[in-house]
Amino acid sequence: MGLTEPTEGSVSINGFDPARDPLRVKSLVAYLPDNVGFYQDMSGLANLRYTAALNGLPPEIAEKRIQNALAKVELTKAAERKVGEYSRGMRQRLGIADLLVKDPPLIIMDEPTLGIDPEGIRELLELIKELAREDNRTIIISSHLLQQVQKICDQVGIFVKGKMIASGTIDQLGNQLLAGQKLKLELIAEPQDEGLYKLCQSFDAVLELKKEDQILTLMCAEDIRPQLAQKIVTAGYKLLHLHLRGFSLDDIYQRYFQREEGNYEQGRDAEAKPSRT
């Protein structure tokens, strides 16, 4: 965003350095803070027109973008109401409309769903996905609500103590963590009979098979979910549940965090040891 100077390293937005080309970068990037600031005694429409004027948009272009943005975030009917009367979720959606008036290729959002009710969260997450996939925009989200991140993000970066220690898809991060370890698959299928057990054991990667209530637990040398699912369905079984434990973003984050904490403590212990000469 070019709002602060880096202490080290570099970053570029579409080839431009925020420190050297701040205006070029600001023309490409829009930012949604966790608490959007609007003029409370002005209507949503008036706030958006003010934003358009600040960005130097010609009135005819500005009005078209504003109406399109209001429709996109489903605030057309509330456009003439004062922002002070808006709910938290409505203000967040108006914040996204505010971004769209600028029509940026890159959007940065800080805790976009904070303080919103469950239905508002669902609607906002769907809108964010739509902006990325249908409008072809890049969206960077900073959030500690990992279940929400897992639902909508294609790539994830994990920060611990101010450093990004891992990045990639959730599957890639999980595979990096669990490389060389046994993988635990949970399976529920009907009917649960001897044929299903034999089908599971027909895979060389299945090292162990256990039955716990209605759940079959498979300890595997590798992830066989695609092949296993296909074989189960082809054999005429009804597949109800197939889950690889340890691959939720919460699980992945905790494992990386614990590993980084361990490395940090080891480093402190090494520094504390007296040197011998």
Q: What is the model's pLDDT at position 277?
A: 39
Task: State the pLDDT at residue 64.
Answer: 95
At 104-136, the pLDDT tens digits run 999 999 998 888 888 888 888 998 998 898 888
> How many Cβ atoms sit within 10 Å of the Cβ of residue 268?
9
Tokens of 202: 């027909």
Which residue type, as a one-letter code, is found at position 112?
Answer: P
Which domains does the chain possess?
22-154 (3.40.50.300), 178-277 (3.30.70.100)
CA distance 189 to 166: 35
Q: Kindly report, residue by residue over 152-202, the tens digit of the pLDDT.
A: 888 998 888 778 888 888 778 877 766 667 888 999 999 999 999 999 999
- For position 29, what pLDDT does the model report? 92
What would the pLDDT profile of 62-85 be if each residue is shown by its tens digit? 999 999 999 999 999 999 999 999
pLDDT at 86: 93
Which pTM was predicted?
Answer: 0.71
What is the rounded distance in angstroms from the CA atom of residue 67 to the CA atom of residue 45? 9
Specify the pLDDT at position 246.
Answer: 64
